[in-house]
Amino acid sequence: MADNPSALILTRVRLGAGGPLARVRVADGRITHVVPETDAGAGSGVEVGGGCQLDLDGRVLLPGLWDAHVHLAEWASARHRLDLAGTASARAVAELVRERAGVGDGTVLYGYGFRDGLWADAPHKALLDAVLPDRPVALVSADLHAAWLNSACLALVGRGDHPTGLIREHEAHEVLSALPAAPVDVVDGWIEEACRAAAARGVSGVIDFQFGDTVGDWERCSAQFRPAVRVSAAVYPSYLDAAIKRGLRTGDAVGADGGLVRVGPLKLFTDGSLNTRTALCRDPYPGLEATDGAHGIEETAPGELVRLMRHAAAHGIEPAVHAIGDRANTVALDAFEVVRCRGRIEHAQLLSPQDLPRFAELEVTAGVQPRHATDDRDVADRHWAGRTERAFPYGDLLAAGARLEFGSDAPVSPLDPWLAIASAVNRTDDERPAWHPEQRLSVPDALVAAARGRRLIRVGDPADLVVVDVDPLDADPETLRAMPVHATMTNGHWTHGPY
Give pLDDT tens digits along the chain (499 positions): 555 558 999 999 999 999 999 999 999 999 999 999 986 554 344 567 788 999 999 999 999 999 999 999 999 999 899 999 999 999 999 999 999 998 877 799 999 999 999 999 999 999 999 999 999 999 999 999 999 999 999 999 999 999 999 999 989 999 999 999 899 999 999 999 999 999 999 999 999 999 999 999 999 999 999 999 999 999 999 999 999 999 999 999 998 878 999 999 999 999 999 999 999 999 999 999 999 999 999 999 999 999 999 999 999 999 999 999 999 999 999 999 999 999 999 999 999 999 999 999 999 999 999 999 999 999 999 999 999 999 999 999 999 999 999 999 999 999 999 999 999 999 999 999 999 999 999 999 999 999 999 999 999 999 999 999 999 999 999 999 999 999 999 999 999 999 9
Give the chain's domain count.
Answer: 3
Q: Which helix (H) or strand (E) holds 176?
A: helix 169-177
Q: What is the CATH number of the domain that holds 119?
A: 3.10.310.70
For residue 182, tell me if it sits in a domain: no
Whether residues 393 and 438 fall in one domain: yes
Percent composition of the chain: helix, strand, coil (DSSP 3-state, to 5): 35, 25, 45
Whether residues 102 and 138 fall in one domain: yes
- 443 near 436, Cβ under 8 Å? no
For residue 322, tell me if it sits in a domain: yes
Whether residues 448 and 462 fall in one domain: no
Whether residues 245 and 207 fall in one domain: yes
- 239 near 204, Cβ under 8 Å? no
Beta-strand ranges (E) seen in 46-100 are 52-55, 60-63, 65-70, 82-83
Whether residues 425 and 473 fall in one domain: no
In whole angstroms, what is the distance from residue 209 CA to residue 77 CA?
Answer: 15
Whether residues 278 and 232 fall in one domain: yes
For residue 466, tell me if it sits in a domain: yes
Whether residues 413 and 485 fall in one domain: no
Please say which residue of 147, 177, 207 terminates a domain. Answer: 177
Nearest to 497 by CA among 227, 269, 201: 201
Whether residues 196 and 337 fall in one domain: yes
Cis preceding-peptide flag for 411 (omega within 30 of 0): yes
Q: What is the CATH number of the domain that holds 399?
A: 3.20.20.140
Q: Give the amino acid at 251.
A: G
- 326 near 386, Cβ under 8 Å? no
- 316 near 262, Cβ under 8 Å? no
Beta bridge partners of 319: 266
In whole angstroms, what is the distance from residue 197 CA to residue 408 CA?
Answer: 14
In whole angstroms, what is the distance from residue 451 CA to residue 39 CA?
Answer: 28
For residue 496, tell me if it sits in a domain: yes
Whether residues 27 and 4 fall in one domain: yes
For residue 183, tell me if it sits in a domain: no
Whether residues 237 and 140 fall in one domain: no
In whole angstroms, what is the distance from residue 237 CA to residue 225 CA?
Answer: 27
Q: How many CB atoms lie within 10 A of CB 13?
A: 26
| SS3 label, residue 13 | strand
Beta-strand ranges (E) seen in 71-191 are 82-83, 109-114, 137-141, 146-149, 166-168
Whether residues 96 and 131 fall in one domain: yes
Provide the whole-model pTM: 0.93
Produce one character per residue of 231-257: b if its CB has 16 or more CB atoms within 10 Å, e if not: bbbbbbeebbeebbeeebebebebbeb
Residue-number span of the structural domain to which 164 is assigned:
77-177
Whether residues 173 and 208 fall in one domain: no
Q: What is the CATH number of the domain that holds 474?
A: 2.30.40.10
